[in-house]
Amino acid sequence: MKFSRWLADHWVMGVALLVLGYLSLPILVVAALSFNRPSSRLSYDFNEFTLDNWRQPCATSDMCDAVLRSVQIGFIATVVATVLGTLMAFALVRHRFTGRSGINLLIFLPMATPELVMGTSLLALFVSAGVPQGFWTVVIAHVMFCVSFVVVTVKARLAGMDRRLEEAAADLYASPWQTFRLVTLPLVLPGIVAAALLAFSLSFDDFIITNFNAGTTVTFPMYVWGAAQRGIPPQVNVIGTAMFVIALLLVGLTSLRGRRSRRAGLPVAPAAGRRAKSPT
């Protein structure tokens, strides 16, 4: 009786932990394989522990070139997409204009379209326009699919912002530009930063769209794809693990900062917020 009661209360959590295990398993394997000396080029099994891969991550220089290229592309695409998307988000939240639903559709559709379709259609465009494919066509493609995500992220932050803060600034003698610089921008900035990080990670990790538009340019995912046929150098797992650790650190840092600024700043009416949450 007691046990079945306990089981009824806790089985969901049990299933959840199993599923989390399923989700985490590959990362553990990647981390383990980064310390592996494979028995042969085509072997995926763990063979022997070594630190060599971490000591010489660039032993296969193609791979490091590809990583560098991915970083460059990601950086440019992120900057452009963040600027374009942020401007659009401001227009959507702060202004009334005709054609809003059309713009919303234009922003929504890229997020709902299979990458395969976006990649091939862009390829069709570039080929028929005679544009040679390479570094810049990849950048163009990445900006295209990142913009929508930036808009959505910044929009959420902007919509959640209290308009009265800007009115208060105007009331306190701040010109529109000063209001924007001193109040609006600092308050929206976390949203913009989040959007930029999202855009970078989308760009860095994209394979399908890149694959159709890269010409002979090799990004990191494309390098892995090619290497999967020829044999994967174990350093790929070093990069994979390092990416994971860096992203985890970033998340940890921002959540720490977030917690501090939540204690020290952001919600405008903390009392009201608390009241809404706790069922007293």
Partner 1 sequence: MTALAHVPTSTGQPAGPPPPPRHDRHRLLPYLLLLPGAAWLLLFFAVPLFQLAAASLYDPTGSLSTGYALTWAFGNYPDVLQAYWPQFARSFGYAGIALLLALLMGYPLAYAIAQKAGRWKNLLLVCVVAPMFTSFLVRTLAWKTILSDNGWLVGLLRDVHLLGPDGRLLATPVAVVLGLTYNFLPFLVLPLYASLERLDYRLLEAASDLYASPVQIFRKVTLPLSMPGLIAGTLLFFIPATGDYINAELLGTPNEYMIGNVIDSAFLVRLDYPQGAALSFLLMAAILAVVFGYLRRAGTEEVL
Partner 2 sequence: MTGMSAKTTGRAAPAGDLRLVNLTKRFGIFTAVDDLSLTIPQGSFFALLGASGCGKTTTLRMIAGLEQPTSGQVLLGDRDIARLRPYKRPVNTVFQSYALFPHLNIFENVAFGLRRRGIRSVDDEVLRMLALVQLDDFGHRRPAQLSGGQQQRVALARALINQPQVLLLDEPLGALDLKLRRQMQIELKRIQTEVGITFVHVTHDQEEAMTMADTVAVMNAGRIEQLGAPADMYEYPATAFVANFLGQSNLLAAEAAGGSGSEVPVTAHGARFSVPAGRARADRGEVYLGVRPEKLHLADSADQVPAGHQHVTGVVSDASYVGVSTQYLVRTGWGSELSAFAANSGLGGRLPVGAAVVAHWDPRHAFLLPRAPGQDDRTAGLLDEPVGASS
AA identity, residue 78: T
- Choose the stretch contacting partner 1; rule: CB under 8 A; options: 26-34, 50-58, 181-189, 266-274: 26-34
Which option in partner 2, partner 1, none does residue 197 bind, with CB closer than 5 to 8 A by kind?
Answer: partner 1
181 binds partner 2 (CB under 8 A): no
Which option in partner 2, partner 1, none does residue 171 bind, with CB closer than 5 to 8 A by kind?
Answer: partner 2
Residues 53-82 that bind partner 1 (CB under 8 A): none
- Give the CA distances from residue 68 to residues 46, 98, 205, 217, in Å, rounded to whole numbers and listed in that order: 28, 43, 13, 12
Give the separation between CA 30 and CA 244, rounded to whole angstroms: 10
* 71: Cβ contacts below 8 Å, ≥ 6 apart: 204
171 binds partner 2 (CB under 8 A): yes
Which option in partner 2, partner 1, none does residue 256 bind, with CB closer than 5 to 8 A by kind?
Answer: none
30 binds partner 1 (CB under 8 A): yes
Give the separation between CA 196 and CA 80, rounded to whole angstroms: 10
DSSP single-letter state for residue 246:
H
Binding mask 111-150 for partner 2 (x = CB under 8 A): ----------------------------------------
Binding residues with partner 1: total (CB under 8 A): 98
Which option in partner 2, partner 1, none does residue 249 bind, with CB closer than 5 to 8 A by kind?
Answer: none
221 binds partner 1 (CB under 8 A): yes
Binder among 7, 87, 189, 268 for partner 1 (CB under 8 A) = 87
Of 167, 202, 209, 204, which is closest to residue 184 (Cα–Cα)?
Answer: 167
- Choose the stretch contacting partner 2; rule: CB under 8 A; options: 79-87, 198-206, 223-231, 256-264: 256-264
Of 125, 258, 138, 280, which is closest to residue 209 (Cα–Cα)?
Answer: 138
279 binds partner 1 (CB under 8 A): yes
User: What is the number of other CB atoms lying within 10 angstroms of the CB of residue 97?
Assistant: 8
Counting Cα atoms < 13 Å in the Cβ hemisphere of 123 gives 14
Which option in partner 1, partner 2, none does residue 165 bind, with CB closer than 5 to 8 A by kind?
Answer: partner 2
AA identity, residue 194: A
Give the separation between CA 143 and CA 137, rounded to whole angstroms: 10
96 binds partner 1 (CB under 8 A): yes
Residues 98-157 that bind partner 1 (CB under 8 A): 103, 106-118, 120-125, 127-128, 140-141, 143-144, 147-149, 151-153, 155-156
Burial class (CB in 10 A: 0-12, 13-18, 19+), 188: buried
- C-beta of residue 230 within 8 angstroms of C-beta of residue 112: no
User: What is the number of other CB atoms lying within 10 angstroms of the CB of residue 171?
Assistant: 9
AA identity, residue 102: G
165 binds partner 2 (CB under 8 A): yes
DSSP single-letter state for residue 133:
P
Choice between 8 and 264, CB closer to partner 2: 264
Which residues contact partner 2 by CB under 8 A?
A: 162, 164-165, 167-175, 178, 182-183, 186-187, 262-272
